[in-house]
Amino acid sequence: MPQLVKLQDDLRDSGFLIIGPHSQGGTAEEVTKVAQQLKMNFTVTDQAQVPGEQVTGLPMQFLFDTSGALVAKDHHITPAKIRELVASEPHFLAAGRTYKKHKAEADALKKTKAYGQILKKLEKDLKGEGDAATEAKYLTERIRAYATKQLESAKAAEADDAFVAQQTYSDLAANYKGEDVGNQASARLKELKTDKSFQEELKAATAYQQILVECQKLVAQGGKIDHQYGPNQKVAASVKANATALKKKYPESKAAAKLAQALETYGFKGI
């Protein structure tokens, strides 16, 4: 599992996506608890089927390319095989066509998040004709549509998770510097900086995230977390102290409201 978590972290920006169907039974709450204890950072589903394929043992892995074609299946597909496929496949924003004039820009999407710089390189061909113009328009539309989706996500997060909203706006401002979306994100960050209510939520949400990071240091044994187990004792005590402090300092915050449920998955009750 740690290998899959690392792969998802390392390759997420290239469009790599893990979906983990489970078939061991258990309630949604039990599956969620185990997934959080194992620090799983990808989607887990209840059962799944690959048409025309049989599962001959667990774990079983299927690897698909960006066209949806099955390119590998085994009880263990090596990280090297996955990285090899990702390197040979287009970035998800560049997928859907081949490139003659803007291959460098399409390939650059795998290596950098400086989307504003890539858009600037494409700009000179937008009003032209031929392959260069067609490719530039295609990439520009997809990159900007992705930016708009992220901006909408940041705005929606303001109401539920100030930490995510702040982080998303900051990323947009940096990644789309010089672009309208980047300017909008920068402007919104300035507005939120003077919003006392948002800043209080941000402090609470930041404390909440720090507590969850601490929880991830807890060691599970047999699918359960024992707070009295030697390596867990100090971490568990710190989590309890910080959770109590958050609820005391920010009792009306959204972070405080969802803290208890989040901690239950790590074996904490009544905090």
Interval 86-107: pLDDT, tens: 777 788 899 889 999 999 999 9
More confident residue, 111 or 15: 111
- pLDDT of 130 > 80? The answer is yes
- HEC letters along the chain: CHHHHHHHHHHHHHCCCCEEEECCCCCHHHHHHHHHHCCCCCEEEECCCCCCCCCCCCCCEEEECCCCCEEEEECCCCHHHHHHHHHHCCCCCCCCCCCCCCHHHHHHCCCCCCHHHHHHHHHCCCCCCHHHHHHHHHHHHHHHHHHHHHHHHHHHHCCCCHHHHHHHHHHHHHHCCCCHHHHHHHHHHHHHHCCHHHHHHHHHHHHHHHHHHHHCCCCEECCEECCCCHHHHHHHHHHHHHHHHHHHHCCCCHHHHHHHHHHHCCCCCCC
- Cα distance between the two ends of the chain: 29
165-205 per-position pLDDT tens digit: 999 999 999 999 999 999 999 999 999 999 999 999 999 99
- pLDDT of 252 > 80? The answer is yes
- pLDDT of 160 > 80? The answer is yes
pLDDT at 242: 97
Residue 47: both structure tokens together:
């059962």
221 confidence band (pLDDT: 50, 70, 90): confident
* Mean pLDDT for the chain overall: 87
- pLDDT of 119 > 80? The answer is yes
pLDDT at 1: 58
